Amino acid sequence: MAEGDSRNLKYPFGVDGTEIAASDDTTKPDSGFINVDGAEYFWLTGSYTGDSTSVTINVLGYADENDNGDVIRTMTLGTGETSGKMIIEGGLPFVKIEGINDDDTNPATLKVILNIVR
């Protein structure tokens, strides 16, 4: 069985999460690629608190650090479900995680934990 490691992302979500303002504000790291090279698969759990009606979490995949990146998986939390999990097959060496507040009025605090199985 493959070994995994978990890490609470320091960028951009931090240990206690990161507040995302209202009006479709997006938070994502400008740098700080997450190295998933050689991963068989990985999964992330996301949760948010606050009065926001929904938050979207995107996983962007990168072939290298000069790549523009493409959204490879998306998860929307809301309408009663304020946490969720998604599994992503390996194959790309780098990913970034972004959070988008889909509420025009209320902020949200987003937390993400990434688990990598190599």
Considering the domain boundaries, does residue 49 fall inside one?
A: yes
How far apart CA 27 and CA 109 sit, in angstroms, is: 11
Three-state DSSP class for residue 99: strand
Mean pLDDT, the chain, rounded, equals: 83
- How many domains, the chain? 1
Range of the domain at 64: 32-97
Considering the domain boundaries, does residue 77 fall inside one?
A: yes
Three-state DSSP class for residue 82: coil
For range 86-108, the mean pLDDT:
91
How far apart CA 102 and CA 66 sit, in angstroms, is: 29
Q: How confident is the model at residue 2 (pLDDT cuts 50, 70, 90)?
A: very low
pLDDT at 31: 58
pLDDT at 47: 92
Considering the domain boundaries, does residue 21 fall inside one?
A: no
pLDDT surpasses 60 at 110: yes
How far apart CA 10 and CA 17 sit, in angstroms, is: 9
pLDDT surpasses 60 at 104: yes
pLDDT at 81: 80
**What token pair was written down for 52?**
């926001």
CB 109 within 8 A of CB 42: no
Considering the domain boundaries, does residue 81 fall inside one?
A: yes
Total number of residues shown for the chain: 118
Considering the domain boundaries, does residue 109 fall inside one?
A: no
Burial of 66 by CB count in 10 Å (0-12 exposed, 13-18 middle, 19+ buried)? exposed
Considering the domain boundaries, does residue 23 fall inside one?
A: no
Considering the domain boundaries, does residue 78 fall inside one?
A: yes
Considering the domain boundaries, does residue 116 fall inside one?
A: no
Three-state DSSP class for residue 49: strand
What does the pLDDT look like over 14-44, one tens digit per residue? 778 888 888 766 776 565 678 888 889 988 9
What sign for the dihedral angle of Cα 79, 80, 82, 86? negative
